[in-house]
Amino acid sequence: MMLEVASTITQAWIDELAQAMEANTHCSVPRRISKILSASSVEMLLTRATAVLKKEKTLVRRAPSMDVEEIIVVGDTHGQYHDVLKLFSLAGAPSAKRMFVFNGDFVDRGAWGVETLLLLLSHKLRAPEEFMIIRGNHETEFCTECYGFERELSVKYGKTAGRVLYPAFLALCAAMPLACVIQDTTLILHGGLFRAAGMKKHDAMHNPRLGSLNDLEKASKGGADPVGEGRSMIAGDVLWSDPIAEDGLRHNEARGIGIQFGPAQTREFLQAENLKLIIRSHEGPDARHDRPEMPSIMSGFCVDHDCGDAGKLCTLFSAPNYPQFIDVDDLRHHNTASFAILKPESNWCEPEIVSFDAVPRPPSACYYEIDLGGSDCEGPESDIRPHEPLHVDVGEGDEGARWKEDELTHKLKLVHEDDE
């Protein structure tokens, strides 16, 4: 059954697509998804969603109308399509009364990143104001090269179509906003806090200052592959940073990109911006297993920094029994997942947490080398990339020798080695 993408996407069409894709996951031939939604239809969804996302700023501000009864915030889902379907069955479908914010890392690691992405994009196109998609560190060229999504696209739609769809996917990533503020009280972003704009390279590394929402609002979205320096510094920080137990603001040596920030820095940021809640994601049970000094994320939710009257910083993770694939010697965590509900009665800043277990998964292929490890231990400048990046020029933000800024237009131009 081949579905056609209409000019107006309806909830009935989304339901039909979701059910057809779920049934197809029980098939032993992943490429049969192309019999449900053709490569040209996938490209159309990617292109239309990119156009919508390009209109959104780096920092999106939402003031829910009186009709909105709740906002559902979702953490990492990592291609675990069946668990995403369960989440929607528990939370309900997006509507004028129920907004959604998906906080990044929709793809990679799980076997159904394509299905998860197509479902979320369909919801975004049906209700662009009510359905928010925030970028995670896995919505980048580096991570999708290393952790499966690039190969998954090629397997499910063929290498020829994959060469068209993957750059279109990277253009989509480059258009995604980095953060969302709800009613001026709650900030939602994937990794964490970020450094101030305009610092010299040495100061940014060795004497960093905390950034502001004004810095974030004016920042580049980071391009296809934010490396965390220059124009993509703030994007790299937002996507890759982590909270720590002790006070301080320092380079994130563990990941090689972004920063680590302590409770004092969270308090400073909350008070400076008049916020009461920060929801971030980015760390699952594997990452927290390697950081025992931090609160456990085994339930899918934890408070990392409780700053009293100033507010809180929390981690939200929505992929149960994560990761889907583990190496023979790795620990299976059997974690539950959670989503958060924000309501107007608490001024959108007191999350109600709903936890859920994993859905039994059909047999499936793993699209990456699982000996890369369970956590993102290295950023985009590491040597674990399977091949040289495409360097697709999809927006400002990518730094290094391959980019040069035009003095008149201030746009970044790709510089080939032969030109240097």
Name the pLDDT band for 330 (thresholds 50, 70, 90).
confident
The pLDDT, as a whole number, for residue 378 is 61
Instruction: Please count the residues of the chain.
Output: 420
**pLDDT surpasses 80 at 394:** no
The pLDDT, as a whole number, for residue 328 is 84
Say if residue 95 is exposed, middle or buried (CB neighbours under 10 Å; 0-12, 13-18, 19+): middle
The closest alpha carbon to 376, from 179, 146, 205, belongs to 146
Q: CB of 107 within 8 A of CB of 324?
A: no
pTM of the model: 0.91
Which one is catalytic: 138, 190, 282, 333? 138
CA atoms within 13 A on the CB side of 26: 6
How do residues 267-296 score in pLDDT, each as one tens digit?
999 999 999 999 999 999 999 999 999 999
The closest alpha carbon to 275, from 213, 340, 364, belongs to 213
How do residues 128-156 score in pLDDT, each as one tens digit?
999 999 999 999 999 999 999 999 999 99
CA–CA separation, 398 and 229 (whole Å): 8
Does 138 qualify as catalytic in the annotation? Answer: yes
* Average pLDDT, integer, range 189-218: 96
Q: Determine what percent of the chain falls in helix, strand and coil, rounding each to the nearest 5.
A: 35, 15, 50
The pLDDT, as a whole number, for residue 371 is 80
The pLDDT, as a whole number, for residue 317 is 98
The closest alpha carbon to 250, from 294, 309, 195, 287, belongs to 195
How do residues 217-244 score in pLDDT, each as one tens digit?
999 999 999 999 999 999 999 999 999 9
Q: Which residues pair with 242 in a beta bridge?
A: 260
How do residues 29-71 score in pLDDT, each as one tens digit?
999 999 999 999 999 999 999 999 999 999 999 999 999 999 9
